Each structure stands twice: as structure tokens, then as C-alpha cells.
Amino acid sequence: MMYDVLVVGAGFFGSIFAHQATKEGLSCAVIDKRSHIGGNCYTRNVRGIHVHEYGPHIFHTNSKKIWDFVNRFANFRQFTYSPVANYKDELYSLPFNMWTFHQLWGVTSPAEAMQKIEETRVKCDAPKTLEEYALSELGKDVYEKLIRGYTKKQWRKDPKDLPSFIIKRLPFRLTYDANYYHDKYCGIPDGGYTQIFEKLLQDIEVKLNTDFFENREYWEKSAKTIVYTGPIDAYFDYVYGELDYRTLEFKHVETEVENIQGVPVINYTSEDVPWTRTIEHKHFEKVKTDHTVLTYEKPVEWSKEKTPYYPINDDHNNSILAEYNKEVKKLSNVIFGGRLAKYQYYDMDQIVGSALVASKKFLANRSI
């Protein structure tokens, strides 16, 4: 045994776990199959612009403890997330709020907005599909211009064939409040996210471009405890079947132009544009440069070789997951953590919180 703990995956879960264990005097190593640390939160410095390589990441939380923890590793600037929707070159405020309804119908009061929604609503007593739910909650205009095309591209499925729970996450307000998140704390780290991981992993042995499964026997023998943050189905060699994910392609374009879109994120809601979002990273930190980087985010069909981004927690996948979770319970020296090993969508603050709890529990049990 070379280490007390081997951590598979240098994202938030793995890096925090390794950091906490090292602080308590344990020997840790971290491996990641990617060429960099930070997992999906990694930011790449392109001449002073911190590019969110795997999609826009906004840190938001209601927990002071989690906020204080991340602020030890970077200075977060206050950030209000107000993306713009582009539907065939008509622009709308997001998330759905009084500005959106004014832009759609020219209405100025909540009562007028409700009246318009009511007029276009397609009533359904027990909406099962996403389309039925959206039509009955927000009406035809909002659905056609702002939901249908975007959802179809995002899920690569017709909203008629998608369950309604997916859309229940979308905020809808009758106030002039275009702030996506209502958490107590919301920010972007000045200087990007990667510095957080560099500080977390300082003095810890990190091996990049190293896939756990390419040398599994070696890595399993290398430590008393393994913290695994990769996909749960891969760990068990897919014995109960493969889990499905949504995946994305990111195309980053660097241009010698000061400002292309004037806002960090635009959602393209019509079907005739292939990408779902464009991200102009410099606006997150209000960086002043003569160049810019624009990223096109495009959902593509999932296959096992691609990067898993979003779990699809429908009945089929959840029943496979339940079988894997039974196997997890039988293992005493492996800790499963993070969004891939749990097969759940988690925001960063939830991952930070769960890594702090899991490492504390592990360290407490160890010293008994």
C-alpha cells in the first residue's frame, strides 16, 4: 500500500476529499483521466479570459459554511445570472419574468401578463408530458417561442415524449426580476475556477491522463481506501446495464473582437439554430481585452465513449441505478461521491457540501 487514500477524479468532490484527508495527515494521491484538474469546473486561461471549458458555471448557495469554504480558495465577485433568449432574432429576458412577458405581449402589469397566459393556456388536469405541463402552465406563446425548440434540442426528443418533471425546475415570476438564482450567495471566482483546485491539491500527488480502469488492479492495491467519483456503471463493468446521460459538444472560438454578444450567455430557443447556448466568457468577470472567446454549446447523441454530463433519472435508469447501489453497500473500502458516482445532477455547492460531510465522516470513523 502506497497511500491511505486514492481519489479517482480531480473535480470538486475528489479534490475537497483529498484536501481534507491530507490536512489530517493522511497520504493521498489523486488521478484523473483528463489532462487537467477541476473536473467540469475547469477554466482555461486564454490571454486573460477564463474560459469555462465545460459550460458556464455560476456558484450559488444558501449555505454560509459552503460559501466561506470556497472563498478561502478564491475571491468571488457578486454575479447576477440573467441570460438572454434569442428566438429567430427576437430577444427575451430569462428566466421567465415580467420583462419576458412585456417583450412577448407589450404588457406592463402582472394582471395583464396573467390574462395573456390565461388566453393562450391549453388546460390539462393532470399533465404528464413536458409539453402538456408547459402549455397548461405558461400557454402557447411562451411554449412555442421559448420552450419547445430549446427543450427538443437539449434532450434530442420531442417535448411530447418527455416527462413533465424536467421543466418544473424553470422559475416563472410575475415580477421584474431577471435573476436566475435566488440564493443568498452567488458569484464567479475572479481569476477562474482552476486556481481553487490548484490550492486544494497543493502538496498532493496528482496524476493526470490516468484512467483508473486502464490499470485497475494496480490502483486498487495502491491504497487502503478509494474515493471514486467516476460513473457508477463503469465501476461495476456495466453488469446491470449502461446508464444513459445527456452529453454536449463545446466549440470554443477565439476572435480579435472586443465584444460579440454583450452578455455571458444567450439561449437559442428556435430549432433552426443547432446550438442551445453561446457563452462569451469575458462578461463573467468583466474582463477588459481586445479579444474574446465565444463558446457554442451543442447537445449531441450519447454514447459510452463521450463525456457524461447530465444523468437521466427516469424509471429505466433509476432501476439500473438501484442495482448498482446495492453493490456499493457491499463494499467497505470504497467511497462513492460526486455527480457521476451518485448518478444525480448536483450543483457545485451540493458537491462541496457532500464532500465536506463525507470526508468528515471518513476521518472521524478512522480515528476511533
Say whether 173 is catalytic.
Answer: yes
Minimum CB separation from ligand FAD for residue 288, in Å? Answer: 24
Instruction: Please calculate the CA angle 68-73-76 and round it to the nearest 5 degrees.
Output: 65
Contact pattern from residue 289 through residue 328 relative to ligand FAD, giving x for each residue in contact according to CB under 6 A and a dash for the rest: --------------------x-------------------
Taking CB under 6 A as the binding criterion, the range among 3-11, 96-104, 199-207, 357-365 that sits at the site for ligand FAD is 3-11
Binding test (CB under 6 A) with ligand FAD, winner from 3, 13, 143, 284: 13
| Residue 67 binds ligand FAD, judged by CB under 6 A | no
State which residue, 240 or 346, has the beta carbon closest to ligand FAD: 346
Taking CB under 6 A as the binding criterion, the range among 10-18, 84-92, 280-288, 312-320 that sits at the site for ligand FAD is 10-18
33 close to 212: Cβ distance less than 8 angstroms: yes
- Sign of the C-alpha dihedral computed for residues 118, 124, 126 and 131 taken in this order: negative
State which residue, 133 or 302, has the beta carbon closest to ligand FAD: 302
- Looking at the DSSP assignment, which residues form a beta bridge with residue 61? 185
CA–CA separation, 203 vs 295, rounded Å?
Answer: 33
Say whether 347 is catalytic.
Answer: yes
Binding test (CB under 6 A) with ligand FAD, winner from 82, 347, 363, 366: 347
20 close to 359: Cβ distance less than 8 angstroms: yes
Binding test (CB under 6 A) with ligand FAD, winner from 3, 5, 7, 12: 12
Say whether 277 is catalytic.
Answer: yes
Who contacts 111 (Cβ-Cβ below 8 Å, separation ≥6)?
none
| Residue 21 binds ligand FAD, judged by CB under 6 A | no
Identify which of 241, 176, 187, 200 has the alpha carbon closest to the alpha carbon of residue 32.
Answer: 200
| Residue 41 binds ligand FAD, judged by CB under 6 A | yes
Say whether 148 is catalytic.
Answer: no
Say whether 297 is catalytic.
Answer: yes
CA–CA separation, 140 vs 131, rounded Å?
Answer: 10
State which residue, 167 or 351, has the beta carbon closest to ligand FAD: 351
Taking CB under 6 A as the binding criterion, the range among 54-62, 87-95, 106-114, 254-262 that sits at the site for ligand FAD is 54-62
Identify which of 343, 339, 291, 353 has the alpha carbon closest to the alpha carbon of residue 317.
Answer: 343
State which residue, 10 or 49, has the beta carbon closest to ligand FAD: 10
| Residue 57 binds ligand FAD, judged by CB under 6 A | yes
317 close to 343: Cβ distance less than 8 angstroms: yes
Categorise residue 45: left if φ over 0, alpha if ψ from -120 to 50, beta otherwise: beta
Render 213-233 in DSSP notation, one character per residue: GGGHHHHHHSEEEEEE-S-HH
| Residue 55 binds ligand FAD, judged by CB under 6 A | yes
State which residue, 192 or 230, has the beta carbon closest to ligand FAD: 230
CA–CA separation, 351 vs 353, rounded Å?
Answer: 5
| Residue 9 binds ligand FAD, judged by CB under 6 A | yes
Residues 241-270 that bind ligand FAD (CB under 6 A): none
Say whether 343 is catalytic.
Answer: no
CA–CA separation, 243 vs 156, rounded Å?
Answer: 17
Identify which of 150, 110, 118, 114 has the alpha carbon closest to the alpha carbon of residue 131.
Answer: 150
Cell triple for 111:
394582471
| Residue 134 binds ligand FAD, judged by CB under 6 A | no
| Residue 283 binds ligand FAD, judged by CB under 6 A | no
| Residue 74 binds ligand FAD, judged by CB under 6 A | no
Who contacts 273 (Cβ-Cβ below 8 Å, separation ≥6)?
86
Contact pattern from residue 205 through residue 234 relative to ligand FAD, giving x for each residue in contact according to CB under 6 A and a dash for the rest: ------xxx---------------xx----
Size of the site for ligand FAD (CB under 6 A): 34
Render 71-120 in DSSP notation, one character per residue: HTTSPEEE-----EEEETTEEEESSBSHHHHHHHH---SHHHHHHHHHHH
- In the set 34, 121, 148, 277, the catalytic residue is 277
Q: Is 67 helix (H, G, I), strand (E, B) or coil?
A: helix
Say whether 345 is catalytic.
Answer: yes
Judged by the rule CB under 6 A, the positions of this chain that interact with ligand FAD are: 8-14, 31-34, 39-41, 54-59, 211-213, 229-230, 309, 338-340, 346-349, 351
Which positions are catalytic? 169, 173, 246, 277, 297, 345, 347
